[in-house]
Structure 1
Amino acid sequence: MSQTKADLVREVLGELFSLASGQVPSAEDTAFVEQRIDPALAALARRNVIYIPDAEEIEDEVFDALVAYLAQICGPKFGRPRDLTAKQVAEDELRTIQRIGGGTGRMLRIDRALVSRRHSRSIL
């Protein structure tokens, strides 16, 4: 299952304001956070932290760390000082998730065409 951009905005605002269940943030606050998502995702990808191709399909394992990261990015607009340690922890978690990945689970193999004749007997 994945989360959407609207889910992300709601959680970031909840983190910033400690919104009660069912409480709706203002349209202005929602628009501000929403406008920060795409540039933040682009910056994370550019710095090789994590690549999230679509903000409308955010994988569950990435979601909480991304909320924490965006809360630090958006915090100063809402009167909260940016906590660089918390931002770095969120980045590190995203980087770890990107590095581990899903993989195929299959055994890696050597393509015989890529192995030179001289070394083929020792490798294979």
Structure 2
Amino acid sequence: MASKVSAAILLLSLNLLFFSVANANIVKHTECPKNNVNVCVNVLKPGGILAKDSPCCTHIQHLVALKAERCLCAIVKANNLGLVEADPTVQLELLLNGCGCRPTRTYYC
């Protein structure tokens, strides 16, 4: 009888543990750090090629993996990519293509 009670208590304890872990809230960053926005200064030149192993591309690939559209748009809207007055969505597409990123959805700024 004591073993049944011990087994039930163990099972209940494990359930509490697993359900509390499964329901844990994940805190997301709501703002992009300023230094991360400036990592892509003047990387896109007309007719220029962006190196896929550049710090900018490494950062962009990380943001795409996180689906951080807000940060990606902040990089483009900082207007320091080196392009002359282009639509932010077009600039973002050029940046993503230049870094070899293939996002699962289209980003709009």
Q: TM-score range by the shorter chain?
A: under 0.3
Which structure features the higher share of helix residues? 1
Which structure would you say has the larger Rg?
2
Question: TM-score under structure 1 normalisation?
Answer: 0.21
